[in-house]
Chain A
Amino acid sequence: MLELSPPFTEGGSGEALFPLWRLVDEEGRWTDERWADRFSPEWIETAYRHMLRARRFDRKCLSLQRQGRIGTYAPYEGQEAAQVGSALALGPGDWLFPTYRDHAAAMTFGQPLGRILLYWKGRYEGGIPNEGRKIFPPSVPIATQLPHAVGAAFAERFLNTPHVALVYFGDGATSEGDFHEALNLASVWNVPVVFFNQNNGYAISTPLDKQMKSKTIAQRALGYDLPGIRVDGNDVFAVYAATKAAVERARSGGGPALIEAVTWRYGAHTTADDPRRYRDQSESDRLREKSDPLLRVERILERLGRFDAEAKTRWLTAIDAEIEAAVREMESASPVSEADLFRHVFAESPDAPA
């Protein structure tokens, strides 16, 4: 007798459907020369200086935390290309919905460093977006910011504006219900939102293969009939190109998209975390040596005659001055008072003394 079986479609095709897309390899070589002309030397220098600034700021925050000058801090070293490249794709009227690890994106999009420091010092001023910018306070409950971005995108379309929403989230966030609900809503409503995932390998101690059986996050797009792409998250060029395309597509009414940026967090989850308890940090060190997102841009800039030790020192001097000013701003903020607790809980406090 013939063996009969129902025609299941097998799983496991995620990597084949969503190959890792990159434009520049670790050595700073273009993988597809046609793209090289799309990036002006000025743009490359700007992107690099944003990344350098982000890295310098992150390290400063770690040292401020060790000195007890700010609270527990979530570092992003290793993810600079993913955050800077994506944030550079936004226009001034667009929305940015960050998590606690996305201040490199926020600062690239205009959030002042002083505000970011105030956030990590535990002050409400840290949640105020820079004037004229639509940046939500960093979201701490995992994945909850995704529906907000869908709603903001809905509102922009409703109000007939050309603005879009970009929302950040980690690999762990894709297991939360809000991730799925947000992708579904965005897809059903066809609103201008770009879901930007940073797959940095771990959700605190939990590696990707314990988080999901699938090999990619990008393939989740299929379930919601969204366009998806998996990019090298340490390649600022690929990140920018993919995000820019998704943002402009959304802007012109093409609807939402999902981007997976494959990256790595070199350091701890937060300053309260010891990664040696769950992973071999020499793996991170090896990855850093090989695929640090800043190095490949330095190599390209070198070839363009725009980078050398002297230029780097000059840029760092300016960056450090900005960071020092931000630290002074944080430390000179007026002391908190009990009255601060009650301000802005409601538009008008029902408990305000008569």
Chain B
Amino acid sequence: MTSIQAAQKTMTLVGAVNEALHLILERDERAIVLGEDVGVNGGVFRATEGLFERFGGQRVIDTPLGESGFVGAAIGMAAAGLKPIVEIQFLGFIYPAFEQIVSHAARLRVRSQGRFSVPIVIRAPYGAGVRAPEIHSDSTEAFFVHMPGLKVAVPSTPADAKGLLLAAYEDPDPVIFLEPMRLYRSARGEVPPGWAPVPLGRARLVREGEDVTVIAWGAMVPVAEQASRMAAEAGIDVELLDLRTLYPLDRQAIARSVEKTGRAVIVQEAHDTLGVASHIVAIIQDEAFYAQKAPPRRVSGFDVPVPLMAYEDLYLPTPEKVLAAVREVMAG
């Protein structure tokens, strides 16, 4: 056993987020955490647990309600030299702050020609599948991916949750950091010790395969993994990519894989219309058109508002739906 392996720790995805936040606040006196219930309570998912006790109420701030107000304030803090890490309690409650994010966070650098910048991280638990109440389960990453000036990261493993969050903190520009609620405690895994950032903009090859490329992110990665195992039993060799960052997007990784397999299935829990999957199809047409053996397929959430929890399983992509799409492109 090497010393590095010895120091690896097994933890949950939310635990990895927590560890990254501890490391950031330890390293940088100008880093602060703010949001609703992030202090004394340690966050409704306990992502910020222990920070208040360790770093105090000056740096771990329980804000009043008002997402627009405290995201706007974080923009001012960042422009004035701090490194705020903002928690939005659930992605479905980020909309009051949408204007601050798209009209200011995303643009201040260009509007001031680099004189001011907004190095903030906005963390938000997101996605369906945990039987949460209404509005708590949205997967509207495309809103932010669409907006130039923002970066969007979505981990699916504890190691990436820690590594991408460290990279998001190091990034000089605003990063929307989406944490799949469904994986908070169900995803457990080895996490490298210490300061181990995972660069933004690089996909992770989850498994190598020859027949079809499956592309997923966030909570859809384990779904796609299960579908890949089911496909293997049926003799189909799936290559699985976890994008990890939706902006910037790892075009090369997508192109390279589809060049090899000639087939692609993209899995997203977001609504289909103008979701990120559609853009990935466009990239495949740009970069790997002549390698294709079949039209690419998208497996998405339906074009209906994310439903109440009784319908959740009907809404979400399942391994069976992914497998059906894989069979379809194999037949094509």
Contact = CB atoms under 8 A, between A and B. Distances in A.
Interface string B94-128: 00100110011000111111111100000000000
Interface in A298-327: none
Given A144-B103, A144-B104, A147-B75, A184 B66 contact: yes
A345 B148 contact: yes
Interface residues of B, number: 46
Interface stretch (B77-85, B263-271, B287-295): B77-85
A265 B147 CA distance: 36
Contacts of B76: 147-155, 165
B72 A144 contact: yes
B137 to A, nearest CB: 25
B257 to A, nearest CB: 20
B100 A144 contact: yes
A225 B246 CA distance: 44
Interface string A318-354: 0000000000000000000000000111111011000
A177 interface: yes
B28 to A, nearest CB: 13
Interface stretch (A9-17, A121-129, A200-208, A226-234): A121-129
A347 B173 contact: yes
A151 B72 contact: yes
B224 interface: no
B173 A147 contact: no
Nearest to A176: B68
Contacts of B113: 124-125, 127-128, 343-344
Nearest to A150: B73
A178 B75 CA distance: 13
A185 B172 contact: no
A148 B75 CA distance: 6
A137 B108 contact: yes
Given A344-B109, A347-B117, A158 B82 contact: yes
A137 B30 CA distance: 24
A182 B64 CA distance: 10
A147 B58 contact: no
A245 interface: no
Contacts of B69: 147, 150, 177-178, 181-182, 184-185
B201 interface: yes
Contacts of B74: 151
Contacts of A185: 63-64, 66, 69-70, 73
Contacts of A212: none
B173 A346 contact: yes
B179 to A, nearest CB: 22
Contacts of A7: none
A159 interface: yes
A156 B80 contact: yes
Contact of A144 (B64, B99, B111): B99
A175 to B, nearest CB: 14
B144 interface: no
Given A144-B104, A158-B82, A346-B149, A188 B72 contact: no
B107 to A, nearest CB: 9
Interface string A177-202: 11011101100100000000000000
A346 B64 contact: no
Given A136-B79, A155-B82, A181 B72 contact: yes
B115 A148 contact: no
Nearest to A188: B64
B38 to A, nearest CB: 15
Given A147-B100, A154-B77, A155-B77, A129 B109 contact: no
Interface residues of A, number: 42
B247 A350 contact: yes
B111 A124 contact: yes
A124 B108 CA distance: 11
A177 B63 contact: no
Interface in B218-272: 247-248
A124 B75 CA distance: 19
B112 A148 contact: no
Nearest to B115: A128
Contact of B109 (A159, A177, A346): A346
B80 A182 contact: no
Nearest to B172: A347
B77 A151 contact: yes
B66 A181 contact: yes
The CB with the most chain A CB atoms within 10 A, among B71, B81, B115, B172, is that of B115
Nearest to A147: B72
A127 B114 CA distance: 10
A259 to B, nearest CB: 19
Contact of B70 (A127, A140, A147, A345): A147
Given A155-B81, A185-B64, A347-B109, A141 B99 contact: yes
Given A124-B110, A148-B104, A345-B148, A158 B58 contact: yes
A151 B75 contact: yes
Interface in B149-179: 149, 151, 171-173
Contact of B79 (A124, A152, A347): A152
B159 to A, nearest CB: 23
Interface in B46-76: 58, 63-64, 66, 68-76
A146 interface: yes
Interface string B162-205: 00000000011100000000000000000000000000010000
A152 B77 contact: yes
Contacts of A351: 248
11 contacts: A147-B73, A151-B84, A159-B30, A159-B80, A181-B70, A185-B73, A343-B114, A344-B110, A350-B151, A350-B201, A350-B247
Interface of B: 30, 32, 58, 63-64, 66, 68-82, 84, 96, 99-100, 103-104, 108-117, 148-149, 151, 171-173, 201, 247-248
8 closest A-B pairs (Cβ-Cβ)?
A: A151-B76, A147-B72, A181-B69, A155-B80, A350-B248, A151-B73, A148-B76, A347-B172
